[in-house]
Structure 1
């Protein structure tokens, strides 16, 4: 293999990821001129320009776009082959920060149990929770996010997933709301009151509205908020009806006397919500990441009052 230079593979991976000769050089600890020479060699080897000028920036050619994921995976495999054999995982001495992307209600749901697991088994491990403002797969691909919890919304086919539990939508209202004064909550009565809906993207309508529309009904929406905690607090202090997930209520029947809220089954059928753990294949065989995944899964399973499959 005297005619194959694996350093070019490393340079190509950096160039495709950074889309900049300067940033790729910085990433690999090389001079800009050295990276420019590597790009010239890569263009000769592939017979493709790979990076072309697009205004003040560089853009990938179609062939370079096609190569991106394959090159990244091949580079990781090459590194793995040339690394020392994996040592046994020692949780007592493991010092690492894992970043988890979740919505705020999942933090309330599992953070205490995870903290207890860390204190008991891995006292030097840190968990950093970041908000789930979108479902972009790139942070998982780049290693910025180690694990995501929630609904699988990415089109990235390479992602690994594991089902945690099934969730569902329920309605909430104040204990003295007129909706509760008559037996049986019909779709007509449900739709006739003012509602608050939850949407990170400011969408007014969702699965409940689709189901109501089949019956010729439409909700009166008065307010849109970004999180379930917002909706719960608003409903507690108003006559609005809220739509939340069961897990956002703590996966248990809320204490109606203390909370001032009542939750009820919807008068229409909505799809089951599948909550999963999501991670990138590069983390799949890591003993440290495998321990994190198993710990998260076991914590959800021990939540005996959570919705389960």
Structure 2
């Protein structure tokens, strides 16, 4: 087999494994949402492909040792996306899959908003948006001073691009040439106050990051192949160089038409009888795509 064929086959296998993982992440998220009957389930479904790409294909970690010194760090700036991250942590074996049944319950390690003090594998407590990238810059700089080649991957939302602290951090990362920092921007076009574009226009997003000194890639964030190719384009671990951003256009509720089409889908209340419909639609769509 030629080298080109080997690379193509390898990517095909990685895409297949990541798609399968993303499906399981979505199923985990639906189960957690059903426990509470409501929540940020649309964001979890929309970001599942990104989270699966990170935990299945990219992140250097040890599931049995979440505090492993040489690990890469995944920072969830958008604390309300915690349901999606828990779903990915369960898929990655960092938390027991059966523990997702405790989501949002009293004394659970899986609160509705991400808290680093509670949950294995949760690196920061996401909360007021705009802080995650600032923390990521400090972590990336500290790791480089320690001589580590570990990466910091920061997940943030398009709504966070409204925050001045995000752009201050972006300038700092470029100034310090933090080649060990990757930002993932979930461009789902929605925030609490309504469509992102109508709240405060943020386009042209790719050009803005590039003007701040970042290497920018924009992809369909629900296309696993495109996500993996974007990560591959970043190349080898190099703690000194331009920081990287992958701008991911996603759809809230991806994979579940019932939720994709809801008018108000930032925080959803889903009726008891609808959860079975959600699972059926998710499974049918996935099986149809695999044929």
The interval holding the TM-score normalised by the smaller chain is under 0.3
Structure 2 length as normaliser, TM-score?
0.26
Structure having the higher helix fraction is 2
Structure having the higher strand fraction is 1
Structure 1 length as normaliser, TM-score?
0.25
